[in-house]
Protein backbone atom coordinates (compact mmCIF):
# COMPACT_ATOMS: atom_id res chain seq x y z
CA UNK A 1 0.00 0.00 0.00
CA UNK A 2 1.25 3.46 -0.76
CA UNK A 3 -0.22 6.81 0.13
CA UNK A 4 -0.23 10.02 -1.86
CA UNK A 5 -0.46 13.32 0.02
CA UNK A 6 -2.48 15.91 -1.82
CA UNK A 7 -2.01 18.84 0.50
CA UNK A 8 -0.33 19.95 3.70
CA UNK A 9 -1.84 22.29 6.28
CA UNK A 10 0.42 25.21 7.16
CA UNK A 11 -0.44 27.54 10.02
CA UNK A 12 1.01 30.94 9.15
CA UNK A 13 1.70 33.21 12.12
CA UNK A 14 4.91 35.06 11.29
CA UNK A 15 6.83 36.58 8.41
CA UNK A 16 10.61 36.73 8.31
CA UNK A 17 12.15 40.15 7.64
CA UNK A 18 15.27 40.72 5.54
CA UNK A 19 17.34 40.98 8.73
CA UNK A 20 16.14 37.53 9.80
CA UNK A 21 13.82 38.64 12.58
CA UNK A 22 10.26 37.32 12.84
CA UNK A 23 7.31 39.68 12.70
CA UNK A 24 3.84 38.55 13.70
CA UNK A 25 1.31 38.66 10.87
CA UNK A 26 -1.65 40.99 11.39
CA UNK A 27 -4.02 38.17 10.46
CA UNK A 28 -3.13 34.56 11.12
CA UNK A 29 -4.30 32.09 8.51
CA UNK A 30 -4.02 28.54 7.25
CA UNK A 31 -2.65 27.59 3.86
CA UNK A 32 -3.59 24.11 2.70
CA UNK A 33 -1.27 24.16 -0.30
CA UNK A 34 -4.15 22.71 -2.33
CA UNK A 35 -3.35 24.62 -5.48
CA UNK A 36 -5.24 24.47 -8.74
CA UNK A 37 -2.75 21.98 -10.20
CA UNK A 38 -3.21 19.52 -7.33
CA UNK A 39 -6.98 19.84 -7.38
CA UNK A 40 -7.08 19.18 -11.14
CA UNK A 41 -4.78 16.16 -10.74
CA UNK A 42 -7.17 14.68 -8.18
CA UNK A 43 -10.26 15.39 -10.28
CA UNK A 44 -8.65 13.92 -13.40
CA UNK A 45 -7.29 10.90 -11.52
CA UNK A 46 -3.67 11.67 -12.40
CA UNK A 47 -0.63 10.75 -10.30
CA UNK A 48 1.23 13.94 -11.19
CA UNK A 49 0.22 17.56 -11.65
CA UNK A 50 2.22 17.51 -14.88
CA UNK A 51 0.01 14.79 -16.35
CA UNK A 52 -3.09 17.01 -16.30
CA UNK A 53 -4.40 18.97 -19.24
CA UNK A 54 -3.41 22.21 -17.47
CA UNK A 55 0.20 21.60 -18.46
CA UNK A 56 -0.47 20.23 -21.95
CA UNK A 57 -0.28 23.64 -23.72
CA UNK A 58 3.06 24.36 -22.05
CA UNK A 59 4.49 20.98 -23.03
CA UNK A 60 3.31 21.50 -26.63
CA UNK A 61 4.89 24.96 -26.79
CA UNK A 62 8.21 23.64 -25.46
CA UNK A 63 8.08 20.76 -27.93
CA UNK A 64 7.68 23.22 -30.84
CA UNK A 65 10.84 25.13 -29.95
CA UNK A 66 12.96 22.15 -28.86
CA UNK A 67 14.74 19.46 -30.80
CA UNK A 68 12.01 16.94 -31.74
CA UNK A 69 14.20 13.84 -31.34
CA UNK A 70 15.01 14.85 -27.75
CA UNK A 71 11.29 14.74 -26.94
CA UNK A 72 10.96 11.26 -28.47
CA UNK A 73 13.85 9.74 -26.52
CA UNK A 74 13.32 11.64 -23.25
CA UNK A 75 9.61 11.85 -22.49
CA UNK A 76 7.82 14.87 -21.08
CA UNK A 77 9.53 14.43 -17.70
CA UNK A 78 12.51 16.16 -19.30
CA UNK A 79 10.44 19.30 -19.83
CA UNK A 80 9.29 19.58 -16.21
CA UNK A 81 12.43 21.54 -15.39
CA UNK A 82 11.28 24.15 -17.92
CA UNK A 83 7.56 24.10 -17.13
CA UNK A 84 7.89 24.41 -13.35
CA UNK A 85 9.51 27.89 -13.32
CA UNK A 86 7.02 29.12 -15.94
CA UNK A 87 4.11 28.07 -13.72
CA UNK A 88 5.69 29.64 -10.64
CA UNK A 89 5.85 32.99 -12.45
CA UNK A 90 2.05 33.03 -12.54
CA UNK A 91 1.43 31.54 -9.08
CA UNK A 92 1.26 34.93 -7.35
CA UNK A 93 -1.10 36.50 -9.86
DSSP string over 59-76: HHHHHHHS-HHHHHHS-G
Rounded distance, CA 50 to CA 29, Å? 28
pLDDT band for position 19 (cuts 50, 70, 90): very high
Provide the pLDDT for residue 7.
61
Residues 16-39 have a mean pLDDT of: 83
Name 60's Cβ contacts closer than 8 Å, sequence gap at least 6.
none
Over residues 49-60, the pLDDT tens digits come to 888 888 888 888
Phi, psi of 54 (to 5 degrees): -65, -35
Higher-scoring residue by pLDDT: 18, 73:
18
Rounded distance, CA 88 to CA 53, Å? 17
Q: Is 70 a residue whose pLDDT tops 80?
A: no
- pTM assigned to the model: 0.53
Q: Is 61 a residue whose pLDDT tops 70?
A: yes
Amino acid sequence: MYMLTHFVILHLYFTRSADGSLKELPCRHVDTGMGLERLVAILQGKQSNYDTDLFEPLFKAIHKVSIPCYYIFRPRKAFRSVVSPIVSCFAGC
